[in-house]
């Protein structure tokens, strides 16, 4: 991924002025020196990567072509430069203009806003990956876009206009699209300058983080860090509260297919594995108790927005590598891979739903199974030692023949209460026969001694 981002950055550099002419008389060492001189030009230095909002690359568009329009592209409103000016989004542009005019009538300090946002303009430009020349060569146009879109978003967070109240849920979902993000730094800057204008109709002043949490319907608990944008905050909410499982798998050697792929839930049950709900809702709270044969999973709600939300979070995890290290793997992606492995068809969905680890609001179990099949397409487990260890331990447990025999005995003879009663009676009868045989042998030895 670092290579891809470096290549993307290189595309913005001027072409290399290297001219290779085949000439047998040219001394080869001289040619090597010339090429090295071109490659060592200052213009070829890799730029500092500050992007946090990405335009999805071609290979990701090809991975999910059937879901791309609905999962990644906004259908109602655009925020930021990537989808600005598209015809089907023009009605909402008129709403933005109405909101901005309303803010001015309420006392929005336009001059202070322009000056404040201009002071962070370079940071805002650097937040976006692969900006078109329309924005880089006309920073004034980009500055106006940031101000209008930022004010519109803050107004939605504080006081959703009555004309948009029926579209609030659709707009909220589109604030979670990766290509539709605004830098958090912009929202903080606007709010610090004109906060009283936005909160004039609210009883209690709240900071942007609290406004966003209310907008998304998530808790502010455990969300103390600084976030890059709304999608970044939502991703953090999926992984809260913090769960540290590092010591649980730090000694394991993890490699190979057994750390990547596991049988579906119904097959695991046949091997003796049981499922239960984790204590927290964090997607990191996944653990396998190999002594009891119990896999604990957080409860996951599946609805019409799940596919779009997870695809955008996973895309962000895949593309945002600045500051990422081995200790900060793609946690949401790893959980999605686990669920994609566990769910192969509607029987697996039914099993997990019955254990309280999955809440299916899609209508039927087959749709949920197909959803996880699509989510697992084109993704691979990252350097997440914990989730790799879960996969390995599940596979190791399934390899134990005794576990499968015990599970078969349980499923065949202990599911029906009448079967349990019959088996108990049979065992009891067998014990009586053994006791009778013992008594007969004792009587025989006693009579033999008397003789």
Q: Provide DSSP, 136-166.
A: HS-HHHHHHHHHHHHHHHHHHHH---GGGGG
Contacts of residue 160, defined as CB under 8 A and 6 or more positions apart, other chains included, come to 168
Q: Residue 120 half-sphere exposure, CB side, CA atoms within 13 Å?
A: 15
Q: Distances in Å between the alpha carbon of 75 and those of 13, 259, 360, 405, 427?
A: 33, 39, 25, 53, 67
Q: What pLDDT, on the 0 to 100 scale, is given for residue 118? A: 97
Q: What pLDDT, on the 0 to 100 scale, is given for residue 108? A: 95
Per the document, the length of the chain is: 451
With a cut of 50, which residues of the chain have pLDDT below it?
A: 1-23, 26, 44, 324-327, 403, 405-407, 409
Q: What pLDDT, on the 0 to 100 scale, is given for residue 106? A: 93
CB 209 within 8 A of CB 223: yes
Q: What pLDDT, on the 0 to 100 scale, is given for residue 127? A: 96
Nearest partner of 149 among 256, 259, 47, 229, judged by Cα: 229
Torsion angle, alpha carbons of 394, 395, 399, 404, to 10: 40
How does 14-36 read in b/e, with b if 16+ C-beta sit within 10 Å? eeeeeeeeeeeeeeeeeeeeeee
Q: Which two tokens stand for residue 81?
A: 């430069």
List, for residues 243-281, the tens digit of each pLDDT value. 776 555 555 566 666 777 899 999 999 888 999 999 999
CB 181 within 8 A of CB 233: no
Q: What pLDDT, on the 0 to 100 scale, is given for residue 230? A: 97
Q: Which two tokens stand for residue 27?
A: 């001394």
Q: What is the pTM of this model?
A: 0.81
């Amino acid at each position: 991924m670092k290579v891809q981002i470096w290549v993307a950055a290189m595309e913005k550099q001027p072409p290399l002025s290297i001219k290779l002419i085949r000439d047998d008389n040219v001394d080869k060492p001289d040619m090597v020196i010339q090429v090295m001189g071109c490659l060592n030009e200052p213009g070829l230095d890799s730029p500092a990567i500050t992007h946090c909002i990405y335009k999805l690359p071609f290979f990701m568009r090809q991975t999910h072509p059937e879901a791309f329009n609905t999962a990644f592209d906004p259908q109602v409103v655009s925020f930021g430069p990537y989808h600005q000016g598209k015809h089907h989004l023009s009605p909402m542009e008129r709403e933005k203009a109405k909101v901005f005019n309303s803010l001015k009538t309420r006392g929005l300090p336009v001059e202070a806003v322009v000056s404040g946002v201009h002071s962070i303009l370079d940071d805002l430009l650097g937040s976006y990956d692969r900006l078109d020349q329309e924005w880089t060569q006309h920073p004034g146009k980009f500055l106006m876009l940031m101000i209008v879109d930022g004010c519109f978003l803050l107004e939605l967070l504080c006081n959703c206009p009555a004309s948009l109240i029926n579209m609030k849920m659709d707009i909220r979902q589109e604030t979670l699209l990766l290509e539709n993000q605004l830098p958090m730094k912009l929202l903080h800057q606007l709010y610090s300058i004109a906060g009283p204008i936005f909160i004039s109709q609210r009883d209690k002043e709240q900071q942007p983080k609290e406004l966003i949490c209310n907008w998304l319907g998530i808790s502010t608990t455990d969300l103390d860090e600084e976030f890059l944008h709304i999608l970044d905050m939502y991703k953090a909410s999926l992984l809260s509260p913090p769960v540290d499982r590092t010591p649980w798998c730090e000694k394991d050697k993890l490699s190979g297919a057994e750390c990547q792929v596991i049988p579906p839930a119904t097959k695991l049950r046949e091997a003796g594995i049981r499922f239960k709900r984790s204590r927290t809702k964090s997607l990191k709270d996944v653990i396998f108790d190999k002594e009891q044969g119990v896999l604990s999973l957080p409860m996951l709600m599946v609805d019409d927005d799940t596919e779009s939300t997870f695809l955008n979070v996973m895309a962000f995890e895949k593309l945002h590598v600045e500051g990422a290290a081995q200790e900060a793997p793609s946690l949401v992606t790893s959980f999605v891979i686990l669920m994609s492995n566990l769910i192969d068809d509607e029987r697996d969905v039914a099993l997990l739903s019955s254990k309280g680890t999955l809440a299916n609001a899609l209508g039927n179990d087959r749709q949920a199974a197909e959803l996880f099949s699509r989510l697992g397409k084109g993704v691979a487990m990252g350097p997440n030692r914990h989730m790799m260890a879960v996969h390995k331990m599940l596979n190791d447990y399934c390899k134990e023949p005794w576990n499968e025999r015990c599970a078969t005995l349980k499923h065949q003879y202990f599911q029906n209460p009448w079967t349990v009663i019959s088996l108990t009676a049979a065992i009891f009868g067998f014990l009586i026969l053994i006791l009778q045989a013992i008594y007969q042998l004792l009587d025989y030895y006693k009579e033999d001694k008397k003789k």
